[in-house]
Amino acid sequence: MIDLKRLRAAPDEVRAALARRGEPAVLTLLQELERLDERRRSIAGALDALKAERNAAAREDARHVKAGGTLPPEVLVERRALGEQISEREAALRDVEAEMAGKALYVPNVPLPELPDGDASNNRTVRVWGDPRPPAATLRPHWEIGERLGILDLARGAKIAGSGFPVFFGAGARLVRALVAFMIDLHVREHGYREVEPPFVVTRASMQGTGQVPKFEDDAYRTVPDDLFLVPTAEVPVTNLHRDEILDGASLPFGYVAYTPCFRREAGAAGRDTRGLLRVHQFDKVELVRFTRPDESPAEHERLTDHAAAVLRALELPYRVVLLAAGDVGFASAKTYDLEAWAPGVGQWLEVSSSSTFTDFQARRASIRYRARAGDKPALVHTLNASGVALPRTIAALLETGQQSDGSVVLPAALVPYFGADRLNPPGGP
């Protein structure tokens, strides 16, 4: 959520920074918020004064009654009038605060200055790792490899749940399980994350805390009688672990690694990337979530991004790191690096991880604070997260990268202890 104090103190700076997102509606929202904020402060000030008056009168009356006196009718009339004034202003304050909350929840995070200007076409590749295998007519796309190996069945998934719900069979299912275990172990052992298995459904309050709701409610699957949401990413349950908490500053920074399935309706993405595993409604993902002090978050973001990239290096998948432009970063993010793995069969870089710092945006919405030292005032933490990494596109890159002319697929050495073999063989093969 936007920092109203900052908006009040430096309105031009906030406006200019948000304008870089390229959404004129946001600037209108800002104007309305500034007007409401002024109104709220004036009502709250008057209300405080009235309450102070009532509290003083109540103290005095109590003393009087305790001493055996009674309150004369004219005093009661006076007190009642005071009470009515307070009620009226409380109602006015409630109204203006509700209106503000309704608007503030739709204001995106302020992009950091180092982001390139412009839309997605201005995204900047900051580094490339590995040697991307050049596309060739002999290289097959992952859906052909997967179906030929008998490990991927898109048609049956569509039959039982609709398109975008893949089914993995046999070695494919085992590969999914191996990848999840491999990634979690890597992050726990090498990068110091604490493993957590959270609920796979969350309340509306949790979705609001991380920014998926109210603006993007249509992108999520929602259960009707209970108003619970299927998690679109482990970011939601894991970040909300500490909602409404004040963390011990000495414990920062720390991170969680969590596996969850992810459910996304992909409303508005219909027709894009529909082949194979490139865009699906349910997928598995290992997610990294970090909580830091504000001064540490830029360095933590770089570290976090490299924790995700370490997975791709271990899997021997060439990848590139892309810094998103101000017009392309997500609603809650202040800065995002996408990690894209090279998939030679489709000849595309596939986004397998998105590594973002949310600065204090989620922390303010979810009220996640820390106390630097005993006695200090609580301050907002910074939250960050990165996929570490998402499975379907990683599997696509693995299949397309490891494919051999005999129809088998060679797997990276790091997976062998988890998968139990160094390659996927076609049915009937060796």
- On whether the CB atoms of residues 162 and 420 are closer than 8 A, the answer is no
65 touching RNA, by CB under 7 A: yes
279 is catalytic: yes
Tokens (6 digits) for 56: 């003083």
Shortest reach from residue 6's CB to RNA, in Å: 11
Of 69-88, which residues contact RNA (CB under 7 A)?
A: 71, 76, 79-80, 82-83, 87
Shortest reach from residue 49's CB to RNA, in Å: 7
Shortest reach from residue 424's CB to RNA, in Å: 31
Binding mask 30-49 for RNA (x = CB under 7 A): ------------------xx
* Long-range contacts at 62-71 (CB < 8 A, ≥ 24 apart): none
Backbone angles phi, psi at 108, to 5 degrees: -75, 170
Tokens (6 digits) for 165: 């719900």
Kindly name the residue from 206, 287, 393, 400 that is annotated as catalytic.
393
53 is catalytic: no
Of 352-411, which residues contact RNA (CB under 7 A)?
A: 371, 373-375, 377-378
- Return the DSSP state at 128: E
Whole-number Å distance between alpha carbons of 143 and 192: 35
Kindly name the residue from 15, 351, 367, 423 that is annotated as catalytic.
351
Number of alpha helices (DSSP H) and beta strands (DSSP E) in the chain: 13, 18
Kindly name the residue from 279, 290, 303, 320 that is annotated as catalytic.
279
Kindly name the residue from 21, 40, 89, 264 that is annotated as catalytic.
264
Binding mask 285-324 for RNA (x = CB under 7 A): ----------------------------------------
Closest CA to 193 of 276, 311, 27: 311
Whole-number Å distance between alpha carbons of 307 and 386: 9
Whole-number Å distance between alpha carbons of 312 and 308: 7
367 is catalytic: no
Among 10, 27, 58, 269, binds RNA (CB under 7 A): 58
Shortest reach from residue 375's CB to RNA, in Å: 5
Shortest reach from residue 76's CB to RNA, in Å: 5
Query: How far apart are the two ends of the chain, measured CA to CA in Å?
Result: 57
274 touching RNA, by CB under 7 A: no
Tokens (6 digits) for 300: 């933590």
Whole-number Å distance between alpha carbons of 83 and 77: 10
Among 66, 136, 189, 295, binds RNA (CB under 7 A): 66
Whole-number Å distance between alpha carbons of 283 and 200: 13
393 is catalytic: yes
- On whether the CB atoms of residues 106 and 21 are closer than 8 A, the answer is no
Whole-number Å distance between alpha carbons of 284 and 260: 6
61 touching RNA, by CB under 7 A: yes
Whole-number Å distance between alpha carbons of 379 and 162: 46
134 touching RNA, by CB under 7 A: no
Cβ-based nearer residue to RNA, 227 or 295? 227
Residue 153, judged by CB atoms within 10 A of its CB (0-12, 13-18, 19+), counts as: middle
Shortest reach from residue 53's CB to RNA, in Å: 7
- Site size with RNA, rule: CB under 7 A: 31
Of 94-133, which residues contact RNA (CB under 7 A)?
A: 94
Shortest reach from residue 199's CB to RNA, in Å: 11
Instruction: Give me the active site residues, please.
Output: 264, 279, 351, 354, 393
- Binding residues (CB under 7 A) for RNA: these are 5, 48-49, 51-52, 54-59, 61-63, 65-66, 71, 76, 79-80, 82-83, 87, 94, 246, 371, 373-375, 377-378
